[in-house]
Structure 1
Amino acid sequence: MAFWKRLSFISAVAALFLPLAACGFGISGTLPSSEEELSIRTGDKTAGESIKLRIMWWGAQSRHKVTMKALEAYSKKHPNVTFEPDYSGMDGYLDRLSTQAAARNAPDIIQIDPGWVADWASRNQLADLTGAVDLTNVDGKLTKLGYINDKMYAVPLGSVAHGMIYDKAAMEKSAIPLPVNGWTWEDFFKLARESVPKLGVGQYVTKDYAGDVFAYSAYQYARGKGFVITDTGKFNIDKQVFLDWAYQWQDLRESGAVPPADVNASDKEFDPSADLMLKGIIMIRLSYSSSYGAWDSIKPGAYALVTMPRAEEAGGWLKPSMFFGISAASKHVEEAKSFVDWFINSEEAGAILGTSRGVPVNSTVADAVDSTFSVADQTGMILYNATLQDGQQWTPGASGWTNWIDKDWGLVRDELSFGKKSPEQAFDALRNAAKEYEG
């Protein structure tokens, strides 16, 4: 698998990065940053052997804050267990984690994307969690991606809806009509084209999503053609649907509805210095229901959520937001299992975490803590419930395609945006690259 070829290469230079991983990776601001602060120390450690669990996750600052509170709450209940958190944004997360895993030095508990589970489990990087976590009140649709050959290797943390977020304040100021739940892809492209005359200098309607795998997947879903990879490991991009999509974006590019290629490529979600929406450069971008709290915490009241545009079918989907896995190389597998079980089954944890990782997967916990949700959490729930009506059930397709999605799609994205490939050439590039992955 190409992903693991890349991982093997990374192992050769892993030693260069291990000192960085060992001291944790935080974000600037009010969150802990020193080594002393990063190890949460509460209570008397005499209640058993002192255990320090390394835990790694990605997200926005709002997720970091509530996760740190959850870790502190767990340590108060289990004074002998402390944590060494390692948190960052999504950008570069997989490469850092892969570097550590290649050296058999991954954190004890790792947050992983649903699409990564099969690859990581197949290479014996994840511990077997079968029977270790109570899944009585967790929907089987959410847990199934954590099972490989009837063994569980990862536990879902939340359920989210895929949609869009828009700068309501900016659109109202420019007299641009606001999108509404149930809108279509035809509505989306029409809105983008007709809004151009109303834009200010250096302002655009949306990111250029021509080569974005998740945006295109939503479009192909809506056209009734399924996911881009089949569950049996076959390339499944419908050529005519892809060309229709790519030429629509080419039209938006030429009309000035999307940013120039270099500006588009500079975007980094939730980075105040690089996020195109936070900088006021674009008005619409992809988002998940669980992310609204992060947006609202940065610019309260400015943003709103809307369902993913539809066509013959719904374009948005419901999916497990992310998973916790436990490193097979961990020296504290049993302690890590106990923490993960608490994380998803404790009402205390549910109340602290809110919807930072989506709707709590434990339905009993979700019902119990619903009244504690903030206004931002409740806003995310509106998108979730709107998508729930007839949304697609997301699938990662067959295992072994991580690198095709992560790298090959990224290359095509840039080549389309910079005009280096025509839509036909982009399709051929994806088709040819896929041959290496097909069984």
Structure 2
Amino acid sequence: MLRWKRSLSVLAMTALVGTLAACGGNGGAKDADSSVKPTGTSAAETKAPSNEPVKLRIMWWGSQPRHEATLAALDLYTKNNPNVTFEPEYSGMDGYLDKLSTQAAAKNAPDVVQLDPGWMPDWMSRGQLAELAPEVDVSKFDEKLLSGGQLDGKQYAVPLGSVAFGMVYDKAAMDKLGIKNPQNGWTWDDFFALAKESKAKLPKGQYFSLDYGGNYFVYSAYQYAKGKGQVITDDGHFNVDQATFLEWTKKFQELRKEGLVPPADVNASDKENDPQMDLLAAGKVLMRYSFSNNLGTWDSIKPGAYALVTMPRAEQAGGWLKPSMFLAVTKNSKHAEEAKKFVNWFVNSQEAANILQTFRGLPANKEIASSLEKSMSDLDKVGLGLLRATEPDGQKWSAGAGGWTNFIDKDWVLVRDQLMFEKVTPEQAFDQLKEAAQSYEK
């Protein structure tokens, strides 16, 4: 990890003197008054940026390389704007939403927050975010990416990047074991066949993939691939296809019995991107789902070992392109104008992009993205390859209807764990999901 710190420090200092060329990487808890409608923060309500000392709280999740890049960017902003300092709060994804939601409910959220696209409908509709216009310029962004941060024609969050949903696999381990590598365009039939072919070659304690029998995101990809549409419709209806769900969960039930996915207790211990707890990084599984911008993170853990491949398909594509995440200013920020000024720099400044690279996906600002593509690292080019391979017929990503975050993050997770530990049958799991969904239906 020291190599990252050294290189990012150099980037920050070089960008400061202006000589760096372009270089090559669901909603929170309700407010106390959930009837509040989303409104922007006017100049009359908040002081305009000034030279007065300002400390901005900013919160994000990610891997260690993303943390280091972001901290370097914050340092550069302070050097350019000495009156602005930062109080960063960063972590892995686990527990992030719960912490942020608790802060928002207490009206103590950070000034600037990173949000998952799936959380946007709830956060906007509950009035938790400040309108970004006119301080944040979005003229160079693709409308398809911007739309996830819009409500009633107003922009409440800006997309940070574009990513493709696919898989990462341990190419070095598979080659050593004599297991063939998956190829772009492979199918779910190929996935399950390769899992069974690997059984005779896997040593004790090593497994083909994580147990995705109850995983919301990978099941969504399977249902898409089977031509059955979204799991939750845009107008707020439960749309899990029962036959497809049972087929999926029973396939993983079989993999579980054959020892091709980890035992439930081992699978439950996985913490993505943690060098010690991540089961792929620990060499216990050969593949897991990932996004096109994450190869640099995996490579920092085990250099040269990993490769990316498209999400398996069936009658249709399984993977999709989506905004990687959004950046927003919270409604109750006492420094909203300074926060918006910073957000504008973060997403539109070349000097910021030179440091942040593609750790949040290919930048959503088209000019910035083009500048980085010209001199991408080999790892970033692999990630871009997954994005380009997904583009032609990838599924249309949708944030879905507001109000379903707890269903995905809590109800579905409970059913997932019960399936994994075989406390319920696939049929019972479906019934539980359908019953839980009733309270979220519009």
Question: Given that residues 205 and 283 in structure 1 are in contact (C-alpha distance below 8 angstroms), is that contact kept between their aligned partners in structure 2?
Answer: yes
Aligned to 1:416: 419
Selected match of 1:183 from 176, 182, 186: 186
Selected match of 2:213 from 210, 215, 219: 210
Output one character per residue of 1:241-285: Cα deviation in whole Å (capped at 9) or x when no partner: 111111111111111100001111111001122111111110010
Question: Given that residues 347 and 369 in structure 1 are in contact (C-alpha distance below 8 angstroms), is that contact kept between their aligned partners in structure 2?
Answer: no
- Deviation of 1:3 after TM superposition, in Å, equals 5.9
Structure 2 residue identity aligned to 1:417: M
2:408 pairs with 1:383? no
- Deviation of 1:82 after TM superposition, in Å, equals 1.2
| Shift in CA distance, 3/424, structure 1 to aligned 2, threshold 3 Å | farther
CA distance in 2, matches of 1:368, 1:195: 42
Aligned to 1:4: 29
- Deviation of 1:2 after TM superposition, in Å, equals 9.6
Selected match of 1:171 from 169, 174, 180: 174
2:287 pairs with 1:284? yes
Structure 2 residue identity aligned to 1:208: D
Aligned to 2:11: none
Question: Given that residues 229 and 396 in structure 1 are in contact (C-alpha distance below 8 angstroms), is that contact kept between their aligned partners in structure 2?
Answer: no
- Deviation of 1:325 after TM superposition, in Å, equals 1.2
CA distance in 2, matches of 1:109, 1:140: 22
2:410 pairs with 1:407? yes
* Counterpart secondary structure, 2:294: helix
Question: Given that residues 75 and 82 in structure 1 are in contact (C-alpha distance below 8 angstroms), is that contact kept between their aligned partners in structure 2?
Answer: yes
CA distance in 2, matches of 1:191, 1:203: 15
- Deviation of 1:407 after TM superposition, in Å, equals 0.6
CA distance in 2, matches of 1:340, 1:179: 39
2:373 pairs with 1:348? no
2:327 pairs with 1:324? yes
2:153 pairs with 1:147? no
TM-score when scaled to structure 2?
0.88
Aligned to 2:84: 81
Output one character per residue of 1:201-251: Cα deviation in whole Å (capped at 9) or x when no partner: 111000000110000000011111111000100001111111111111111
Output one character per residue of 1:391-432: Cα deviation in whole Å (capped at 9) or x when no partner: 112112111000000011111111111111111111111100
- Deviation of 1:102 after TM superposition, in Å, equals 1.6
Question: Given that residues 207 and 282 in structure 1 are in contact (C-alpha distance below 8 angstroms), is that contact kept between their aligned partners in structure 2?
Answer: yes
CA distance in 2, matches of 1:133, 1:392: 29
Output one character per residue of 1:166-185: Cα deviation in whole Å (capped at 9) or x when no partner: 01111111111110010000
Aligned to 2:39: none
Aligned to 1:200: 203
2:352 pairs with 1:359? no
* Counterpart secondary structure, 2:55: strand
CA distance in 1, matches of 2:81, 2:228: 50
Output one character per residue of 1:353-411: Cα deviation in whole Å (capped at 9) or x when no partner: 11100010011111112233222212211111111121112112111000000011111
**Structure 1 segment 125-140 matched on structure 2, within 5 A:** 125-140=128-143
Question: Given that residues 354 and 377 in structure 1 are in contact (C-alpha distance below 8 angstroms), is that contact kept between their aligned partners in structure 2?
Answer: no
Structure 1 residue identity aligned to 2:211: D
CA distance in 2, matches of 1:70, 1:52: 15
Structure 1 residue identity aligned to 2:271: K
* Paired positions, count: 400
Output one character per residue of 1:294-318: Cα deviation in whole Å (capped at 9) or x when no partner: 1011111000000000111110000
Selected match of 1:96 from 69, 86, 99: 99
> Identity across aligned pairs (percent)?
61
Question: Given that residues 205 and 284 in structure 1 are in contact (C-alpha distance below 8 angstroms), is that contact kept between their aligned partners in structure 2?
Answer: yes
Q: Over aligned residues, Cα RMSD in angstroms?
A: 1.5
CA distance in 2, matches of 1:390, 1:86: 38
* Counterpart secondary structure, 1:397: coil
* Counterpart secondary structure, 2:88: strand
2:92 pairs with 1:67? no
Question: Given that residues 351 and 372 in structure 1 are in contact (C-alpha distance below 8 angstroms), is that contact kept between their aligned partners in structure 2?
Answer: no
Unaligned stretches of 5+ residues in structure 1 = 9-46
CA distance in 2, matches of 1:205, 1:392: 26
* Counterpart secondary structure, 2:114: strand
Selected match of 1:247 from 247, 250, 272: 250
CA distance in 1, matches of 2:157, 2:28: 19
Question: Given that residues 28 and 119 in structure 2 are in contact (C-alpha distance below 8 angstroms), is that contact kept between their aligned partners in structure 1?
Answer: no
- Deviation of 1:69 after TM superposition, in Å, equals 1.3
CA distance in 2, matches of 1:378, 1:176: 25
Question: Given that residues 223 and 244 in structure 2 are in contact (C-alpha distance below 8 angstroms), is that contact kept between their aligned partners in structure 1?
Answer: yes
Aligned to 2:313: 310
2:430 pairs with 1:427? yes
TM-score when scaled to structure 1?
0.89
CA distance in 1, matches of 2:373, 2:178: 36
* Counterpart secondary structure, 1:283: strand
CA distance in 2, matches of 1:173, 1:397: 42
Unaligned stretches of 5+ residues in structure 2 = 1-25, 33-49
Divergent runs of 4+, >4 A: none
* Counterpart secondary structure, 1:246: helix
CA distance in 2, matches of 1:156, 1:178: 33
Structure 2 residue identity aligned to 1:385: R
Structure 2 residue identity aligned to 1:99: T
Selected match of 1:335 from 332, 335, 338: 338
Question: Given that residues 3 and 400 in structure 1 are in contact (C-alpha distance below 8 angstroms), is that contact kept between their aligned partners in structure 2?
Answer: no
